[in-house]
């Protein structure tokens, strides 16, 4: 049996908002497996155990560039919220989006190698990034990007600088804009139920199965009737189907009229969505409280050293 440390309990609590003792019990039962412990907490506490998962720790901005049938969305990260308001940082993020739209780089490395000059730094985007790190005093990185081109019209929506949506569609511009805003609010993970990743479906089915087993055990303990295997299977499948509707764009209730689905709204307005991308700043990034500050300090020191080595006076 692995040792369940205080830091493990703290990490699980930060992810789930569950009470400390419940986190410790879940980790013990899961033999230290963090993902398994999260599932156990969801069975015990329901949706309450997922609240903290939507909280984003990292900072940065999302920038967009749209021209005709070409659009790009980029996330650029930094260390503090203060820098997200810096004009040079914002200009750098916008330049990243423009370069993705124009040149269709294969990955972040290819994007970083593209020609760009800003604030006296260059000749590549990577040189500008390093220069701005030295100028602003914070580490920054290009995390990810998405580009659509040639498949249809493009709609986009930026909710401040932390949430960005890109939609590839055909049909009515206003309807597509409404969909982009809906995506920012409701955060679907896929276009349709058929597009939801199998790993997510498997997790939901596992949670529903464990919840059914727990309820059955409780019924037996209390001397109440226990559902048949057939009814349990239907209940589990019902939970999975409910989940698919909640996370699939076309099946979600439209935010401007919850009496109809997004799919129905689009049909009424003769519009079809082919694809969408949603970026939320820092989504999936977890800062480690114990050593994050030291790690960042080391990154900044290394970046400044690189910038100094590349400066004309160092040659």
What is the rounded average pLDDT of the residues 155-184?
A: 96
pLDDT tens digits, 173-205: 999 999 999 999 999 999 999 999 999 999 889
Domains and CATH numbers, the chain: 1-55 (1.10.8.10), 59-150+285-314 (3.30.479.20)
pLDDT of amino acid 52: 47
Q: The dihedral of CA 278, 59, 62, 184: what is its sign?
A: positive
pLDDT of amino acid 293: 45
Q: Max CA-CA distance within the chain?
A: 83
pLDDT tens digits, 71-100: 999 999 998 899 999 999 999 999 999 999
Tokens read off for 146: 């998405």
pLDDT of amino acid 146: 97
Secondary structure, 3-state, 295-308: HHHHHHHHHHHHHH
What's the rounded Cα separation, in Å, for the pair 209 and 203? Answer: 10
What's the rounded Cα separation, in Å, for the pair 44 and 297? Answer: 40
pLDDT of amino acid 22: 83
Q: What angle do CA 140, 14, 38 make, to 5 degrees?
A: 115
pLDDT of amino acid 301: 59
What's the rounded Cα separation, in Å, for the pair 139 and 300? Answer: 5
pLDDT tens digits, 245-273: 999 999 999 999 989 999 999 999 999 99
pLDDT, greater one: 54 or 118: 118
What φ, ψ does residue 50 adopt, rounded to 5°?
-105, 0
User: What is the pTM assigned to this prediction?
Assistant: 0.74
């Amino acid at each position: 049996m692995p040792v369940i440390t205080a830091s493990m309990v703290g990490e699980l609590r930060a992810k789930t908002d569950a009470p400390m003792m419940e986190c410790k019990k879940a980790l013990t039962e899961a033999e230290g497996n963090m993902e398994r412990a999260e599932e156990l907490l969801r069975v015990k506490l329901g949706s309450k155990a997922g609240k903290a998962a939507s909280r984003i720790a990292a900072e940065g901005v999302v920038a967009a560039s749209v021209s005709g049938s070409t659009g790009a969305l980029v996330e650029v990260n930094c260390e503090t919220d203060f820098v997200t308001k810096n004009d040079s940082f914002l200009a750098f993020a916008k330049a990243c989006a423009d370069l993705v739209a124009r040149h269709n780089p294969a990955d972040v490395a290819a994007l970083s190698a593209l020609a760009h000059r800003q604030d006296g730094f260059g000749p590549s985007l990577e040189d500008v990034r390093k220069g701005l790190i030295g100028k602003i005093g914070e580490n920054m990185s290009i995390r990810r990007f998405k580009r659509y081109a040639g498949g249809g019209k493009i709609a986009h929506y930026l909710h401040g600088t932390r949430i960005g949506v890109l939609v590839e569609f055909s049909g009515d511009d206003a309807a597509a804009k409404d969909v982009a805003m809906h995506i920012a609010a409701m955060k679907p993970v896929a276009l349709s139920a058929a597009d939801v990743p199998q790993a997510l479906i498997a997790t939901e089915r596992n949670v529903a199965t464990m919840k059914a087993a727990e309820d059955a055990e409780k019924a037996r303990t209390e001397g109440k009737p226990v559902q048949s295997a057939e009814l349990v299977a239907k209940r589990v499948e019902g939970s999975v189907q409910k989940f698919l509707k909640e996370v699939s764009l076309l099946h979600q209730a439209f935010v401007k009229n919850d009496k109809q689905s997004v799919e129905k709204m689009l049909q009424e307005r003769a519009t079809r969505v082919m694809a969408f991308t949603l970026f939320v700043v820092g989504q999936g990034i977890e800062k480690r409280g114990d050593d994050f500050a030291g790690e960042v300090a080391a990154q900044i020191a290394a970046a400044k050293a690189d910038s100094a080595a590349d400066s004309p006076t160092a040659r």
